[in-house]
Amino acid sequence: MKKSYTILLLICLLSTFLFACSKNESSKSAEKDPNVEITISAAASLQDVLNKIASNYEKEHPNVKITYNFGGSGALQQQISNGAPVDLFFSAAEDKFDQLIEEGLIEKKQETDLVGNELVLVVRKDSSQDIKRFEDLIAVKKIAIGTPETVPAGQYAAETLENLGLIKKVEKKIVYAKDVRQVLTYVETGNVDAGIVYKTDAMTSSKVKVAAVANKDTHASIIYPVGVLKETPHKKEAERFFDYLQNDAALKTFVEFGFKKIEK
């Protein structure tokens, strides 16, 4: 009887020990590999390259899902200022980005100017109009640009037209779009005769061609800053993806999609 009791006690103790070990291992596993979704508000012109980068990143980090909110940088900045739940902000303009730094919403130690771009004039590939320079816009009926107040590409376009002495001559022909991709769509569908977009956007379309490239002296430098929001609930994962965007493989992908490296 005593022997049976001893064996039973040993079995109970062993079961308790194994259960505790199993629970501890499960806890460590969950701590090591939690499923996390991080949200990134990004300029519409980054859509193709960031989708590619997210696909690569998620293969390397299967516990992390990247969700994007694409749009005009100004509109995204306003959303974040009004409390939108975002982990990182990737802007197409420094002024929109700096506004969030001034508001104390972006971590100063976790932000950087990542890539650059160029501004181009595009027309449909089958266009019969002789448009080879920005000055040729005087002769067209409709021109699309992003809304300057909320779309950096539109702001750069307006600056270019102003500095070339064209703005007053073409302002009644301008059709404003909510973001740079909508400008591209207007050109592709023939709703306008020409549009001003980024070089990277023009590269995504088989229906348009570049008629002219804006001189760098006609607009402010096109720089894309990215940073981590201070109030992100996924700080570790957000910082990890922020670092990933700056590695050689990611930068190579940006260049493949037409962006330029920023010399630091």
Delimit the domains of the chain by residue range.
33-116+223-261, 119-218
Residue 264: per-residue pLDDT: 65
Provide the pairing of β-strand 64-71 with 36-43.
parallel
Question: Which residue in the block uniquely carries the two structure tokens 């590409």?
Answer: 153
Q: What are phi and psi of 106, to 5 degrees?
A: -110, 135
What are the residues whose beta carbons fall under 8 Å from the beta carbon of 90, sequence distance 6 or more? Answer: 40, 41, 42, 43, 46, 50, 114, 224, 225, 226
pLDDT, residue 33, reads 52
DSSP class of 258? T
CA dihedral sign of residues 4, 6, 11, 12: positive
Q: Which CATH class is domain 33-116+223-261?
A: alpha beta
Alpha helices in 61-210 (DSSP H): 73-81, 94-102, 152-163, 167-170, 180-188, 199-204
Give CA 226 to chain center in angstroms.
8
Q: Which residues of the chain have pLDDT under 70?
A: 1-34, 264
For the chain, how big is the Rg over CA atoms in Å?
26
Pick the CATH number of 119-218 from 3.40.190.10, 3.30.70.360, 3.40.1410.10, 3.65.10.10: 3.40.190.10
3-state secondary structure of 170: helix
DSSP state of 263: P
Helix residue ranges, H only, the chain: 2-32, 47-60, 73-81, 94-102, 152-163, 167-170, 180-188, 199-204, 235-245, 248-256
Could you give the CA distance from residue 234 to residue 28 in angstroms, rounded to a whole number?
18
Which pLDDT value is given to residue 63?
A: 95
pLDDT one-digit tens code per residue, 6-20: 544 444 444 444 444
Query: In this structure, what are the phi and psi dihedrals at residue 139, rounded to the nearest 5 degrees?
Result: -90, -5
Please tell me the distance from the alpha carbon of residue 250 to that of residue 99, in angstroms, as a whole number.
26
**Exposed/middle/buried for residue 236 (C-beta within 10 Å: 0-12, 13-18, 19+):** exposed
- The predicted pLDDT at position 254 comes to 97
Helix (H, G, I), strand (E, B) or coil at 169: helix
